[in-house]
Amino acid sequence: MNFLCLIFAVLCLIQLNDARSFLASYENQKEAFTESKSTQYLKDKRLDKSTNVKNINNESLEIDLQNESMIKPNFFEGDIVLTDEQWALIRQEIRKQSSSLGNESFSTLPEERTLISNLAQRWTLPIRFFINSDVNATAVLAGIAKWEKETCIPCSSYVGKVGTSFQEISIVNQYYCLALGGVCHEIGHALGFFHEHNRYDRDEYIRLQTQNIKPSSESQFKKEPASLMNDYGLGYDYGSIMHYSADQGSANNKPTLITRDPNYQTTVGQRVDLSFADVKKVNLAYCNSKCSNTLACRNGGYVDPNNCQQCKCPLGLGGSFCETVALSSSGCGKGDLTATNSVQSISATGPKTCNYLITAPPGRRVFFRLTEAREFEVLPNSCPYAFVSVNYSKAFTKNGIHACRTTDFRISTSEHEQIIVIYHGFDNSSRFTMNYRIA
């Protein structure tokens, strides 16, 4: 099907430590995978005779999120395979709600595959899998290893578990899917995720620009009925790896969606890493009974199913109970900061990661302004590996805004008394400065 690669779930379990070596390889090189590492792994596991790993020439790969081959019109939401039973359930639910969905005429929904089911069916762990021929095995193994590292799930592949037969994930043979984030996105569908922008409450967070959407992509922007999803109380996440980019499916290179909070416009569509909420949803769905003990985790943290004696904390937070700022690289300065009535500033330069937790007095909020953000942009409107992130929402479980340039977010005020600031510099030219005070 023109570069379409399929992964089938069968009896083959990769050990956690082996798979993690592929994740480390990806995180070190920050690019699509080459043949050598995957071929060596397959030889070590004596799988090279049955699994063909094609060579990937990175110079020939184009990052083209508008490419038609990335959104398959016959798949639900463009990249999800559903069973006949799932399609029947979806059509039934939509027709039930057609009278209350305004201008979206779902009452005349054709027999097309445009929607998806939820996390209702769980996988039996461990999840066994097989990598089909013509697939870059290293990228797939790294995606599996990432989910293993962050959750209690040993492996991965439809949306949710479907019976005991073979199941498949579609992966386009382009940079988008050969990179770690693209693979993690597709595995997310297998674990039961919707696309985030298809949530029933999405209109509270984004505005669709229907005039810019290609006719062939219109079905990828339909809302899901609330009855078919469970977000475990975590709410809408602009930073989810399951969220479309702002220009996905565009007919004219103009935005197809605009975030209601303009600061998040460059946050949506990231395919670099799983968000904290992505991971927490899966852990609540699959791993909630893994630990018998409880810990007083704070700020949205929860007991880590892979280590029941510690909390798994939102980005930028650390300590025994997610009560303080996470450790930073050398040279970042003090991480725990207090806002006062006077304007103060924080800054960092060079290739390092700095975490800051700024706290206002009880009942007050933090006013902040990004005054400098330089040399972060790697791709148009995206800075996947170097950025400034500010989480100023009430729920630190949601990803903060990502800024690639000084102009990427406006002067803002926190929703409560704390904000988390994360600086991730790529090289010596990266730098940022931010002013803050009590609002």
pLDDT in the model for residue 69: 38
User: Which member of 77, 93, 150, 186 is catalytic?
Assistant: 186
Range 17-24 contact pairs with CB under 8 angstroms and sequence separation of 24 or more? 18/45, 19/141, 19/142, 19/144, 19/145, 19/148, 20/145, 20/148, 20/149, 21/145, 22/138, 22/141, 22/142, 22/145, 23/142, 23/145, 23/146, 23/149, 23/180
* Residue 189 assigned as binding residue: yes
Same-domain status, 207 and 296? no
Is 198 within a domain?
A: yes
Claim to verify: residue 239 and residue 380 sit in the same structural domain: no
Q: Is residue 224 part of a domain?
A: yes
Query: How much is the pLDDT for 19?
Result: 53
Q: Mark whether 205 and 348 lie in a shared domain.
A: no
Closest to 54 measured CA to CA, from 5, 1, 14, 9: 5
Mean pLDDT of 157-176: 49
Cβ count within 10 A of residue 309:
10
pLDDT at 70: 42
Give the pLDDT band (50/70/90) at residue 410: confident
Beta strands in 275-382 (DSSP E): 302-304, 307-312, 317-318, 324-325, 336-338, 344-349, 353-359, 366-374
200 shares a domain with 72? yes
Domain range for 345 is 336-438
Confidence of residue 347 (pLDDT cuts 50, 70, 90): very high
Q: How confident is the model at residue 82 (pLDDT cuts 50, 70, 90)?
A: low
- What is the tens place of the pLDDT at every residue in 105-148? 333 333 322 223 344 456 777 777 777 777 777 788 888 889 99
- Per residue in 237-258, pLDDT (tens digit) is 999 999 999 999 999 999 999 9
Q: What is the pLDDT of residue 397?
A: 96
Q: Considering only 15-19, 85-89, 144-148, which range has the smallest mean pLDDT? A: 15-19
pLDDT at 226: 83
Higher pLDDT, residue 338 or 24: 338
What confidence tier does 405 reach under pLDDT thresholds 50, 70, 90?
confident
Give the pLDDT of residue 258: 97
The answer to whether residue 73 is domain-embedded is yes
* pLDDT(383) > 60: yes
Mean pLDDT, rounded, for 380-388: 76
Q: Is residue 97 part of a domain?
A: yes
- Given pLDDT bands bounded at 50, 70 and 90, which one contains residue 230? confident
Of the two residues 275 and 140, the one the predictor is more confident about is 275
Q: What would the mean pLDDT of 409-428 be, rounded to a whole number? A: 92
**How far is it, in rounded angstroms, from Cα 129 to Cα 183?**
14
DSSP-derived letter for residue 165 is S
Co-location of 280 and 296 in the same domain: no
Give the whole-angstrom CA distance, residue 180 versus residue 183.
Answer: 5
Q: What is the pLDDT of residues 210-219, one digit of tens each?
A: 999 999 999 8
d(CA 159, CA 287): 18
More reliable by pLDDT, 103 or 256:
256
Contact 300, 415 (CB under 8 A): no
Query: Domain for residue 349, yes or no?
Result: yes
pLDDT at residue number 198: 94
pLDDT at 83: 54
Tell me the mean pLDDT in the region 33-38: 42
Residues 271 and 175 in one domain: yes
pLDDT in the model for residue 60: 27
Q: Does 402 belong to an annotated binding site?
A: no
- Give the pLDDT confidence score for residue 177 in this predicted structure: 52
Judgement on whether residues 130 and 177 belong to the same structural domain of the protein: yes
Question: In b/e form, how buried is each residue of 115-144, taking b as 16+ CB within 10 angstroms?
Answer: bbbbbeeebeeebbbebbeebbbbbbbbbb
Which residues on adjacent β-strands are paired with residue 259? Answer: 206
CATH of the domain at 299: 2.10.25
Judge whether residue 32 has pLDDT over 70. no
Tell me if 166 sits within 8 A of 127, measured CB to CB. Answer: no
Number of domains in the chain: 3
Per-residue DSSP letter, 65: T
Task: Say if residue 209's pLDDT is above 60.
Answer: yes
Q: Is the dihedral of CA 147, 151, 153, 157 positive or negative?
A: negative
Q: Are strands 353-359 and 418-424 parallel, antiparallel or unpaired?
A: antiparallel
Query: Is 183 inside a domain boundary?
Result: yes
What does the alpha-carbon distance between residue 204 and residue 218 come to, in Å, rounded to a whole number?
Answer: 20
Contact between 152 and 283 (Cβ < 8 Å): yes
Do 56 and 145 lie in one domain? The reply is: yes
Establish how many alpha carbons lie within 13 A of residue 293's alpha carbon, considering only the half-sphere containing its beta carbon.
12
Kind and range of the H or E run holding 140:
helix 137-150
Residue 19 to residue 38: CA distance in whole angstroms: 11
Q: What's the CATH code of the domain at 344?
A: 2.60.120.290
Structure confidence at residue 388 as a pLDDT band (50, 70, 90): very high
Q: Is residue 401 part of a domain?
A: yes
CATH code of 270's domain: 3.40.390.10
Q: Are 145 and 250 within one domain? A: yes
Domain identity same for 250 and 363: no
Q: Which long-range contacts (CB under 8 A, 24 or more apart) does 81-88 make?
A: 81/158, 81/159, 81/167, 81/168, 81/169, 81/170, 82/113, 82/116, 82/117, 82/158, 82/159, 83/158, 83/162, 83/163, 86/116, 86/117, 86/158, 86/159, 86/162, 87/113
Written as one letter, the residue type at 273 is D
Q: Whole-angstrom Cα distance, residue 259 to residue 266?
A: 9
The pLDDT value given to residue 189: 85
pLDDT score for 409: 75
The reply to whether 331 falls in a domain is no
**Active site includes 186?**
yes
Cα gap 155→190, rounded to integer Å = 11
CA-based torsion, 289, 290, 293, 299: positive or negative: negative
How much is the mean pLDDT over the chain?
Answer: 75
Whether the pLDDT of residue 398 is over 50: the answer is yes
Q: Which residue has the higher pLDDT, 46 or 329?
A: 329
421 CA to centre of own chain: 19
Q: What is the pLDDT of residues 321-337, one digit of tens each?
A: 999 999 999 999 999 99
Span 342-356, average pLDDT: 97
pLDDT at 396 over 70: yes
Least confident of 98-102, 107-111, 404-408: 107-111
271 and 296 housed in the same domain: no
Residue 54 has a pLDDT of 28
- Do 244 and 159 share a structural domain? yes
pLDDT of 267 higher than 70: yes
